[in-house]
Amino acid sequence: MLQALTSAVSGLNAFQQEIDVIGNDIANVSTIAYKSATTDLADSFSQTLANSDLGGDSSVQIGLGVVTAGIFNQFNQGAINPTGVATDLAISGNGFFVVKDAISGAEFVTRAGDFQLDASGYLVTPGGLRVQGYTDPSLTTLGDIKIDASNMPAADAAVDATMTSYAIDQQGRVDITLSDGTTYVTGQILMQNFSNPNGLVKEGNNLYGGIGVSGPIGGAVDPTPAAPGTNGMGTIQSGALEQSNVDLSSEFASLIQTQRAFQANARIITTSDEMLQDLVDMKH
């Protein structure tokens, strides 16, 4: 009976964690590019009461409960909704944007493309992290993506041309249009991909850390982003945002199932308590 209590308590803990995961998914149903999570459970250690003999009889074992084996993110594609905002970018397919803290130098990846231009013309996240890619027309220099006319051809600079518009294509190239009608590529937004995306660590604000241990392009020592559409990555859709991939109907079904499992384990505790009370009462 004490073993039943222990098993039931482990069940309460495991299903409470699963409910926590489901609750977080439902809370993020409208979060840009949020990826839902699933909880995998595994049986705990089993106590062996008798070993099998040469006659083929099975071992006699009693399990001691359940443990949370892992919580895994589901990186399947979320719906892409158009916004009409030039700096909003969605990834159609695999891959992540790479963003960098200009002060600390720390790099993160994200699927959320709700970017904007800061006062200096850098393409940044809502938290001010700068999007990474090639920063020159020859597409050779890695750094912070800046959308302005600083890389314009010398002939256009001589006539004091100014930027009138810009566009970002599916390969992440940033096309600048000048006031004299000249169009040129000023840089390219690059992406990163992983052989084990579940190795990434959620850092909040739609960011993931743990880049080096998740099998990035270029290897753990020197992760190197690549152009969209290469290395198994998807392409960029400008003027759109990827939505959360949370399936509410599935989440509510899982919530009901998990709640019933929690209640069943609570019932085991109540029953075990009643049986222990009967044992105590036997002395009278």
C-beta separation of 184 from 151 below 8 A: yes
Phi, psi of 232 (to 5 degrees): 75, 10
Report the C-alpha gap between 255 and 15 in whole angstroms: 10
Distance between CA atoms of 97 and 89, rounded to whole angstroms?
10
pLDDT in tens, 187-209: 999 999 999 999 999 999 999 99
Q: In whole angstroms, what is the distance from residue 66 CA to residue 105 CA?
A: 42
Residue 54: its pLDDT value, please? 54
**Residue-range domain boundaries for the chain:** 2-76+246-281, 80-242
165 touches 177 (CB < 8 A): yes
Stronger pLDDT, 52 or 82, i.e. the higher one: 82
* Predicted local confidence at residue 63, as pLDDT: 75
Token output for 250: 């599935």
Is beta strand 173-178 parallel, antiparallel or unpaired with respect to 163-168? antiparallel
Task: Check: CB of residue 117 under 8 Å from CB of residue 145.
Answer: no
pLDDT at 185: 97
Q: Give the residue from 75, 22, 17, 26 showing the smallest Cα distance to 198.
A: 75
User: Which tens digit of pLDDT belongs to each residue from 85-144?
Assistant: 999 999 999 999 999 999 999 999 999 999 999 999 999 999 999 999 999 999 999 999
The mean per-residue pLDDT over the stretch 221-242 comes to 96
141, 225 contact by CB (below 8 A): no
Q: Where are the beta strands (DSSP E) in 9-115?
A: 37-43, 46-50, 60-63, 66-73, 80-82, 89-92, 96-100, 107-110
Q: Are 233 and 67 in contact (CB under 8 A)?
A: no
Q: Residue 1 has what pLDDT?
A: 57
Q: What is the pLDDT of residues 156-184, one digit of tens each?
A: 888 999 999 999 999 999 999 999 999 99
Q: How many CA atoms lie within 13 A of 92 on its CB side?
A: 14
Structure tokens at 163: 């930027």
CB 212 within 8 A of CB 223: yes
Query: What is the biggest distance separating any 2 CA atoms in the chain, rounded to whole angstroms?
Result: 105
Place of tokens 């959308």: 147
Residue count (the chain) = 284
